[in-house]
Amino acid sequence: MKYKLIACDMDETLLNDEKHVSPENHNAIKKVCELGVKFVLASGRGYTDIQNVARTLNLADKHGEYTISFNGGVITENKDNKILFKQGITFEQTNTLFKIGLGYDVGFHIYTLDKVYIYRATQEELDYMTGRLDNCIVLPEPNIDFLKDETIIKILFQNNDRQYLETIEREMTKETLSQFSISYSGNRYIEFNSQGVSKGNALLQLAKELGINQDEMISIGDNNNDISMLEVAGLGIAVANATTDAKEAAKVVSEYTNNQSAIAQVIEQYVLN
């Protein structure tokens, strides 16, 4: 068998718009796992917010199964969520970005290992997060000093206007930008991870640990925070609903969207057949 690992984004890729794994995707993933292929969830979410989907796929709390979370900021083995790799940002970096963001029309998510602190989120954003992030803590005021001794993995700004978020990035100083890996997701977030952190780098690191070559991996995604893993896998596939940038980075663009069980189609075409 050529492919030994499939790295798959979750939101708008594996999950349909109702935030569920379709029966077709579920059955295809079950088949491929029974063949010994690693199915790795690779998400911007924290690993605690991936567990419901991992349980649905019978991957949760298992030795020899792995998850890439926080856009590559953490790699875990699913058994007891054992952390194999972790790279976050400092409180000082987080606070700098938080203060910059306060000058713009954005909401905030600040991710520690097991919690998400949100500030200035609209009701529409809260509705969007339901079923995606269920451990959120709403901050009553613009002060994050209580996080000084916490492990912080990433911070993001939220606005539904992607061009507005790009303007914020352009207006930041080079000194600030040089400290972070910056990506976009969901056409509503600009995300700030530690410099060098990406789904692609995490995938390469995990593959090295498992003795899997790049040409033995498939990666599947829909958005710009998936581009790095679409580029490093032997076969990078963008779903039909992917962004233009993600499609350009992929080696293959699926004819199917997240609402048409694109993952099942990929598995049937490139692994099972």
Q: In this model, does residue 1 exceed pLDDT 70? A: no
Encode pLDDT of 102-151 as tens digits. Answer: 999 999 999 999 999 999 999 999 888 887 887 799 999 999 999 999 99
Percent pLDDT > 90 in the chain is 94
Q: In this model, does residue 173 exceed pLDDT 80? A: yes
Query: Is residue 64 domain-shared with residue 104, that is, in the same domain?
Result: no
Range of the domain at 246: 5-86+197-272
Query: Is residue 77 domain-shared with residue 211, that is, in the same domain?
Result: yes
Please name which of 73, 74, 90, 86 lies closest in space to residue 149, comparing C-alpha atoms. Answer: 90
Query: Is residue 103 domain-shared with residue 188, that is, in the same domain?
Result: yes
Please report the pLDDT score of residue 133 as a whole number: 81
Strand, coil or helix: 217: strand
- In the numeric block, the tokens 């694109």 are attached to 262
Distances (CA, A) of 23 to 50, 69, 80, 89: 18, 24, 27, 38
CATH of the domain at 102: 3.30.1240.10
CATH of the domain at 221: 3.40.50.1000
* Domain's final residue, options 194, 216, 245: 194
Q: Which residues contact 61 (CB under 8 A, 6 or more apart)?
A: 78, 79, 80
Query: Is residue 78 domain-shared with residue 125, that is, in the same domain?
Result: no
Do 244 and 224 form a contact (C-beta atoms < 8 A)? no
- pLDDT category at 273 given cuts 50, 70, 90 is confident
Q: In this model, does residue 186 exceed pLDDT 90? A: no
Distances (CA, A) of 59 to 46, 67, 80, 81, 209: 16, 9, 12, 11, 19
Q: In this model, does residue 174 exceed pLDDT 70? A: yes
Mean of pLDDT over the chain: 96
Query: Is residue 63 domain-shared with residue 127, that is, in the same domain?
Result: no
Tokens of 200: 């692609």
What total number of domains does the chain contain?
Answer: 2
* Domain's final residue, options 194, 214, 237: 194
Backbone φ and ψ of 61, nearest 5°: 55, 40
Terminal Cα distance for the chain, rounded: 10
Query: Is residue 161 domain-shared with residue 202, that is, in the same domain?
Result: no
Query: Is residue 74 domain-shared with residue 112, that is, in the same domain?
Result: no
Encode pLDDT of 27-57 as tens digits. Answer: 999 999 999 999 999 999 999 999 999 999 9
Mean pLDDT of 244-268: 98
